[in-house]
Amino acid sequence: MITAAAFRTHVRALLTLGLPLVGSHVAQFAITLTDAVMLGWYDVTALAAQVLAGGFFFIIFITGSGFAWAVTPLVAEAEGRGDTTQARRATRMALWLVTLYTALTFPVMFFSEPIFRAIGQEEEIAISAGLYLRIAGFGLLPAVVVMVFKSFLSALEMTRVILWVTIAAVFVNAGVNWLLIFGNLGFPELGIRGAAWASVVTQLASMLLLVVYIVRRLPEHTMFQRMWRPDWEAFGRVFALGVPIGMTTLAEVGLFSASSVMMGWLGEVPLAAHGIALQIASVTFMVHLGLSNAATIRAGRAMGQADWTGLREGAITATALSLAAVGVTVVIFLTLPEALIGLFLDPADPQRGAVIAIGTVLLAAAALFQLVDALQVLAIGILRGVQETRVPMVIASISYWIVGLPIAYGLGFPAGLEGVGVWLGLAAGLAVAAVLLMLWFWRRVYPGLVARG
């Protein structure tokens, strides 16, 4: 299927692109992870509230990021043809779209407290989660703008700067958290509100760093000149590609957020354990997401050059790399669960033992779905690279909401498996998505591209 020489070539190309992206995703996630660790040491109730509020923010953020992610395949294809003008047009209109999206969704975060009450969360958690989002919502616009810039730079294969800016953001976030959550160095002790303000500051700092870099290092793209002028053709292309991407991601993220809601029905301790286990599983997911992003870029370049052999070989190589990472992850989850979960909890916390006991079982369940989670995100990345987004949206919606969610609820509550049942439902939805998405690319999309020439 692929020669050893070709495999090595694609491995080098994918890792050159993918490793900085993996690092940047891990660093980006470390911002959320830092919030969870510091709030877990501050107060378990604050941690539980942040799990809910953070999931709510992430749903809104990741849906709007569909417009940002549309930039990667469009710019990669344009650069493959040597068309710098089209690359700039797509990026500018993505900035327009994420700004409009923020204006529409900010009120939902500002008035989120009644939503948490309506979905059955405990009163104290609902109040704290709503308070967090009233502050964190101000960081939505810089957060999605950062995603646009990262997608633009990724498509240009300038991934190292993304890594360094994200690492800088981790330190900014941790520092402001330390000052504002705990009230160090004379700053007020704000608890969960301090974590929210730290997120806003971090997102603004990241945006400014990327703006400065693009202005200084890429003057030929004239990115910020005449930003007020509409470009309706490019606007339409980004919108048409971005909406299905956002909806696909929403379907998956919504499933995991719904699982957090269901865990909240089981109580504060199961919800905290779920949040910790999900944070750990998400760190390993960043590896597969980085490889998926690299596959998107490589597929977009191949499409721009009509290099269908390169597309096939690159897809096979990316799959092999992702599967190798899965093997390492499963071993870690099954052998070191208590050590991993304990990092998030104060040794003196009276609920520490109960949280670790539940979290250990959940991590074992997470080990089961590592394979299918890796395959589904990789398939989405490859399909996105060839600008195939509508069918993946349908597949994701069916897999996660018609298959995964009912199984999670059925096993978790009527069947009495509680948290383990909820996580097995997640695995079922991911498995269906992985199989259908891979079949769609290899059986329909790739043959169609080759036939089209």
**Ramachandran assignment for 266, one of left (phi > 0), alpha (psi -120 to 50 degrees), beta (any other):** alpha
Inter-axis angle of helices 44-80 and 4-42, to 10 degrees? Answer: 150
pLDDT for the residue 207: 94
E strand or H helix that includes residue 384: helix 370-385
User: Which residue in 24, 54, 211 sits closest to 130, CA to CA?
Assistant: 54
- Residue 167 C-beta-side C-alpha neighbours within 13 Å: 10
Tokens of 98: 């994420």
Averages of pLDDT over each 10 residues, the chain, 453 residues: 86 89 78 76 79 81 90 86 80 94 92 82 82 90 93 90 90 92 88 89 93 89 78 91 91 83 84 84 86 91 88 93 92 89 80 86 85 92 92 94 95 90 92 96 92 76
What DSSP state is assigned to residue 345? S
Token match 């080990």: residue?
A: 367
Residue 27: predicted pLDDT: 77
Residue 93, token pair as written in the block: 């209109």
Question: What tokens does 40 get?
Answer: 């877990």
CB atoms < 10 A from the CB of 339, how many? 10
Distances (CA, A) of 221 to 86, 234, 298: 10, 16, 21
Question: What pLDDT, on a 0 to 100 scale, did the predictor assign at position 124?
Answer: 80
pLDDT at 43: 79
Can you tell me the distance from the alpha carbon of 51 to that of 79, in angstroms, rounded to the nearest whole number?
Answer: 40
287, burial (CB in 10 Å: exposed 0-12, middle 13-18, buried 19+): buried
Show the tokens assigned to 39.
């709030």
Domain ranges for the chain = 4-452
Type of residue found at 232: W
What burial class does residue 103 get, using C-beta atoms within 10 Å of its C-beta: 0-12 exposed, 13-18 middle, 19+ buried? exposed
What's this model's pTM, rounded to 2 decimal places?
0.81
